[in-house]
Amino acid sequence: MKSSDTQMMNDVHSIEEIAQHGSINAEEIESVLRQHPAVQEVLVQRRKKRDNDTWVAYVVRNPHDQSGRDPSLTDQLHNEKVTRWQVLFDHTYKRSADSENSAFDTASWQSSYTNQLISEDEMHEAVDDPIEHILALQPERVLEIGCGTGLLLFRIAPQCASYWGTDISPVVLESLQQRLERIDPPLSNVKLFHRSADDFADMAPNSIDIIVMNSVVQYFPSIHYLVQVVKDAVKRVKSGGAIFVGDVRSLPLLEAFHASVQLHHASASMETETLRQRIQMQIERENELAIDPAFFLALKQHLPEISHVEILPKRGRHHNELTKFRYQVLLHIGGQEVDSPCSVTKLDWKQEELTLPVLRRLLQEAEPELLYVTNVPNARLSVEIQLSTLLTSDEPPATVGELQKELDKAAEIGVDPCDLWALSDELPYRVEIRWAYHDQNGSYDLICQRTSSDTKLSHTKLSNSHFKINRAESSPDTEDDLGSWQGYASNPLQDRLNRRLGQQLRQFTKERLPDYMIPSAFVMVDVLPQRDL
Amino acid sequence: MRESVVLQDRIATLILENVHMEVPTHETDLIETGILDSFGLVELIYQFEEEFGVPVPIHEIDFENFRSVTQMARFIEQRTGNSHNGFSPNGNSQNGYFHNGNSQ
């Protein structure tokens, strides 16, 4: 008998059995699954698949279950995750290597909305900003972890004595090496290494001015991996140097990001409730590392080499996923934080109901030496904030089409950071926007420092404590206190943990139930779906 | 043809487990609709190896032609040679999708 025929008979057999056993099955399967220590809640639903009905088990994990969580497993999961990314990057770069020869290869920079490459115009803007930050520090020796196609390398390397680039993708390094050999004048100060981000072998202590990780840490397998990398990195950086972490995906803005992408993909006829569920699912299964900016402030408490932390939005006129949902971090190593001696005028944008013209007049007429404005609403996120309000309202529009209509007619709220930075062109003020304390609304803090009175002040690094910000910053007490760091980030290993648990539960049910009652799918969720009646 | 359908159902089940979403149809473009992103696709390809016991060399896959359940099923069928023994679960597969899996 052919295998397909046997299979078909098995299926037919099972349908009869399911019919015979009727309604009791789902509850019976649930009661078996509840016996597993990793299961907190469970719901089993019948899943209609043509003539072959099966079961789906929705499982809420028991957060306190520690079974199967040993360090070797974590290492294995880390390695698996890093390998997957390497495979994906190799694949992506292989396709671009054959076609692209320029020093501006944006392969792997795909839009989450269209899956097409982000436009070259937007990409130029996206790399100009980190390059400016890095060159402003006039580094001699640069190490770039995850140099990719060399978007930063080709611009920074000509300005410094040595530039080391590392990447996990051998494919991209090979094509980058070929490009380097073709350029004239040659960049003989560049050295490339194939290695993972946590490998600092042969890199001497206090030997590097700047370590750059631009658009890299989101592919790290966990926040603990990042802590380890930064810990090793700070030892290599000279006093007075810095670590630049660019394109960090914001944890507070993760929901706004997924809402925005899912809205883009949704059809007008989709029910708003379905959209809401999809957003929730995307957050739960986020496979990249999204980080709360407070993490970097906590890291400063943990690593005394870090003297000062700057958390900044990206510059750029374009409103895209890079400028809206990502931030960049400068960890200054060694040296002293200098607090400006001048007086600070503090305002809350929302409380004072400020506007851009009012702010301009204030600077012109009151001429404060140092103005610090908190809670400035962020125009880049105007749509997302309104989307979130609509989705959480008591009576949201019924369909995505109606939701979109509401959004289209809503007026833009907030101030574009570019309009604030531009103030420094017309007024004697240095303007800085800080994003260290942003929440789900993505509001930022503004610092305007008068430059004419004392030019020395314009280069002063103003510490966060200078503004006496009463926000708690704490870091885990011990290095092994991994659970505490976890609160600052998404968990990219969750999908792997879920999959392992799914396999365990399948085996568990196999040992306790007849074949036709073994769920075909085990879906890990944060909240159980409604039971179908 | 029957085997194709069963294989497609199994791929759809894997996607359900991974992304918590039922694929609307087996022809749905999973990338276009935002059900899968490129990392999700790589993850799924690794799972094909585990589930169907066939090596799937990722560098040979053109992601442009690997965007629906039917396209994926066709690729796996080609990998397994013909549809006779097809994608029968390999010995160490832990899946229990199809009862005793004893189709040899």
Could you read off the pLDDT of A477-517 as tens digits, one per residue? Answer: 555 455 589 999 999 998 888 888 999 999 999 999 999 89
pLDDT at A148: 94
Is the CB of A174 inside 8 Å of chain B's CB atoms?
Answer: no
pLDDT at A412: 87
Residue with the larger pLDDT of the pair A496 and A366: A366
Mention every residue, 6+ apart, whose C-beta is less than 8 A from residue A121.
A318
Kindly report the pTM of this predicted structure.
0.87
Question: Structure tokens of A433?
Answer: 């926007």
Indicate which of B8, B9, B11, B20 best probes the interface with A, i.e. most A CBs within 10 Å of its own CB.
B20
Q: Report the alpha-carbon distance of residue B83 to residue B2 in Å, rounded.
A: 10
Of A6, A10, A523, the CB nearest to B20: A523
Contact A294, A436 (CB under 8 A): yes
Residue with the larger pLDDT of the pair A236 and B33: A236
pLDDT at A116: 83
Contact A522, A505 (CB under 8 A): yes
Contact A189, A142 (CB under 8 A): no
pLDDT at B83: 46
Residue A476 has pLDDT above 90, yes or no: no
Residue A16 has pLDDT above 80, yes or no: no
Contact A290, A422 (CB under 8 A): no
Residue A363 has pLDDT above 70, yes or no: yes
Q: What is the 3-state secondary structure (H, E, C) of A29-77?
A: HHHHHHCCCCEEEEEEEEECCCCCCEEEEEEEECCCCCCCCCHHHHHHH
Residue B75 has pLDDT above 50, yes or no: yes
Contact A226, A211 (CB under 8 A): no
Residue with the larger pLDDT of the pair B50 and A222: A222
Whether residues A506 and B13 touch (CB distance < 8 A) is answered with no
Could you read off the pLDDT of A217-272 as tens digits, one per residue? Answer: 999 999 999 999 999 999 999 999 999 999 999 999 999 999 999 999 999 999 99
Contact A517, A55 (CB under 8 A): yes
Is the CB of A194 inside 8 Å of chain B's CB atoms?
Answer: no
Which has the closest alpha carbon to A380: A435, A436, A311, A447?
A435
Contact A94, B59 (CB under 8 A): yes
pLDDT band at B101 (very low <50, low <70, confident <90, very high): very low
pLDDT at A446: 96
Contact A326, A247 (CB under 8 A): yes
Q: Please give the ipTM for the structure prediction.
A: 0.78
Mention every residue, 6+ apart, whose C-beta is less than 8 A from residue A151.
A104, A105, A106, A123, A127
pLDDT band at B60 (very low <50, low <70, confident <90, very high): confident
Q: Report the alpha-carbon distance of residue B10 to residue B99 in Å, rounded.
A: 13
Residue B99 has pLDDT above 50, yes or no: no
- For chain B, report the end-to-end CA distance as a whole number of angstroms: 17
Which has the closest alpha carbon to A57: A498, A533, A511?
A498
Whether residues A520 and B99 touch (CB distance < 8 A) is answered with no
pLDDT at A504: 93
What is the mean predicted confidence (pLDDT) over A122-148?
96
Residue with the larger pLDDT of the pair B24 and B62: B24
DSSP state of A159: G
Whether residues A510 and B96 touch (CB distance < 8 A) is answered with yes
Whether residues A521 and B16 touch (CB distance < 8 A) is answered with yes
Percent of chain A with pLDDT over 70: 86
Whether residues B34 and A518 touch (CB distance < 8 A) is answered with no
Contact A231, A475 (CB under 8 A): no
Q: Report the alpha-carbon distance of residue A300 to residue B18 in Å, rounded.
A: 37
Question: Structure tokens of A447?
Answer: 């610092």
Whether residues A87 and B43 touch (CB distance < 8 A) is answered with no
Residue of chain B minimizing CA distance to A261: B34
Indicate which of B15, B26, B77, B98 best probes the interface with A, i.e. most A CBs within 10 Å of its own CB.
B98
pLDDT at A65: 81
pLDDT at B94: 37
pLDDT at A9: 44
Question: Structure tokens of A434?
Answer: 């800080």
**Over the range A149-159, which residues count as b (16 or more CB within 10 Å of their CB) and which as e?**
bbbbbbbbbee
- For chain A, report the end-to-end CA distance as a whole number of angstroms: 40
Residue A7 has pLDDT above 60, yes or no: no
What is the mean predicted confidence (pLDDT) over A65-69?
70
What is the mean predicted confidence (pLDDT) over B51-58?
83
Q: What is the DSSP string of A438-494?
A: --TT--EEEEEEE-SS-GGGGG----GGGGT--------SSTT-HHHHHTTB--TTH
3-class secondary-structure state, position A366:
helix
Query: Could you identify the residue written with the tokens 């800085």?
Result: A432
Residue with the larger pLDDT of the pair A103 and A406: A406
pLDDT at A100: 54
Q: In whole numbers, what is the pLDDT of chain A averaged over residues?
A: 87
pLDDT band at B33 (very low <50, low <70, confident <90, very high): confident
Distances (CA, A) of A476 to A159, A481, A501: 39, 6, 28
Q: How many CA atoms lie within 13 A of B97 on its CB side?
A: 25
pLDDT at B90: 41
Rounded to a whole number, what is the distance in Å from the CA of B63 to chain A's nearest CA?
9
- Show the DSSP H helices in B20-68 as ranges: 38-52
Q: Report the alpha-carbon distance of residue A152 to residue B81 in Å, rounded.
A: 46
Distances (CA, A) of A453 to A50, A373, A431: 78, 20, 15
Number of H-type helices and E-type strands within chain A: 19, 14
Handedness of CA B7, B11, B16, B18 (dihedral sign): positive
Contact A236, A204 (CB under 8 A): yes
Rounded to a whole number, what is the distance in Å from the CA of B1 to chain A's nearest CA?
9
Q: Other C-beta atoms within 10 Å of A202: how many?
A: 7
Whether residues A262 and B34 touch (CB distance < 8 A) is answered with yes
3-class secondary-structure state, position A527:
coil
Which has the closest alpha carbon to A244: A215, A220, A221?
A215
Could you read off the pLDDT of A126-135 as tens digits, one per residue? Answer: 999 999 999 9
Whether residues A6 and B102 touch (CB distance < 8 A) is answered with yes
Contact A386, A396 (CB under 8 A): no
Contact A242, A274 (CB under 8 A): no
Percent of chain A with pLDDT over 90: 68
Q: Report the alpha-carbon distance of residue A484 to residue A480 in Å, rounded.
A: 9
Q: Which of 82-111 (A) contact B at CB < 8 A?
A: 84-85, 87-88, 90-92, 94, 110
* Residues of chain B contacting A525 with CB distance shorter than 8 Å: 20
Region of A369 (left: φ > 0; alpha: ψ -120 to 50; beta: rest) is alpha
Contact A61, A34 (CB under 8 A): no
Q: Which long-range contacts link A227-235 to residues 24+ away (Cβ below 8 Å)?
A: A227/A299, A227/A302, A227/A485, A228/A198, A229/A145, A229/A197, A229/A198, A230/A299, A230/A303, A230/A331, A231/A303, A232/A198, A232/A200, A233/A145, A233/A200, A234/A303, A234/A305, A234/A306, A234/A331, A234/A333, A235/A200, A235/A205, A235/A206, A235/A305
